[in-house]
Structure 1
């Protein structure tokens, strides 16, 4: 009887691996797209070849546990979540006002609440910006290829990037290179509010 189990086990394992692979591919692809990562970017962050990740997502290969672990680390999730049977597992995280760090400009007239996820700070930063009239925020250059997006919710702002100046009012968005010194100003007589998103490691702009 022990011999018969030994003969059946490889078939059972193969079937289980195929089922797992089908669910795993969907999960990896869903998480990668949720983080807005390309196959190349995930390959770079995980150390897993782009071709292998593509095969996993298309359910054309059964990855080793080591490969799954590297992908889970790059996607900032536990290996248990990656291997979970349900491919539509929800992710909900709540931060209170008290837990939200606030940065203040040198003149004390601009405040940036860090509402982005701290785990993505190396490639994506997200702020809720509020400003008093005349407030000014001077920033040093970020790494090459970085882009900043300022979506104005209230008031009027002015962006100065190395001498190039552009303005935006409520409902308008400015996108600009931030890999050089740049300044954000709240102009006019009214307070201003905006959402600021900094995309790090973007494609290098020539």
Structure 2
């Protein structure tokens, strides 16, 4: 039996340092990054200084605007052959009202071309995602509850166990319209 690594630190702790490094490596100003991402210069500065912890929506905007994976902002280490308890060993990233918990299970790896998330939507939770890069596909597997997924003008009701995949180059949203949690896995293939 292996001993899992217990996550004791918030994965958002280093986002500012990582963002600043990416910005400096690309020789971008805060104004440049703001224009690329749609996130205000003030907010970006606060994130870089560690004064503000970005929400999932803000992280997606930054990742999309800089054309990087969400995982690259979270700086999650990848290790082979390690058993990990998702809900106790991995610290989730939450939305602004803590109704959406996103666990970065398998961070982006350029060799595999994907990243894998375990997501819990509490009752009443809703998350809107802007269009991703044109070549991105999402694979969603609902394992508990009923997820309402809207892709452009189409609405899908996915009652567990259910799955769907779609090109993520369009706006889409995930909603829990029930009084019980929804649990789903999301694979982002780049």
Count of aligned pairs between the two proteins: 110
TM-score (norm 2): 0.51
TM-score (norm 1): 0.48
Q: Which structure is richer in relative contact order (CA contacts within 8 A, separation 6 or more)?
A: 2
Aligned equivalent of 1:156: 146
Aligned equivalent of 2:125: 135
Report if the CA contact (8 A) 2:144-2:183 is conserved: yes
Matched, 1:193 2:183: yes
**What pairs with 1:77-88 in structure 2 (closer than 5 Å)?**
none
Aligned equivalent of 1:116: 106
**What pairs with 1:20-59 in structure 2 (closer than 5 Å)?**
none
Report if the CA contact (8 A) 1:107-1:136 is conserved: no
Distance 2:112 2:130 in 1: 16
Distance 2:169 2:161 in 1: 25
Higher helix share: 1
Aligned equivalent of 2:81: 92
Distance 1:144 1:118 in 2: 17
Distance 1:154 1:116 in 2: 20
Distance 1:99 1:171 in 2: 25
Q: 1:94 to 1:121 in 2, by over 3 A?
A: farther
How far off its partner does 1:108 sit? 2.5
Matched, 1:144 2:166: no
Could you say what secondary structure the match of 2:156 adopts?
strand
Q: 1:113 to 1:121 in 2, by over 3 A?
A: farther
Further displaced range: 141-150 or 113-122: 113-122
Aligned equivalent of 2:25: none
Q: 1:121 to 1:193 in 2, by over 3 A?
A: farther
Matched, 1:180 2:185: no
How far off its partner does 1:101 sit? 4.4
Q: Stretches of 4+ moved more than 6 A in 1?
A: none
Could you say what secondary structure the match of 1:117 adopts?
strand
How far off its partner does 1:125 sit? 1.4
* Structure 1 unaligned residues grouped into runs of 5+: 1-90, 201-206
Could you say what secondary structure the match of 2:170 adopts?
coil
Q: Which of residues 167, 179, 191 in structure 1 aligns to 2:157?
A: 167
Could you say what secondary structure the match of 1:188 adopts?
coil
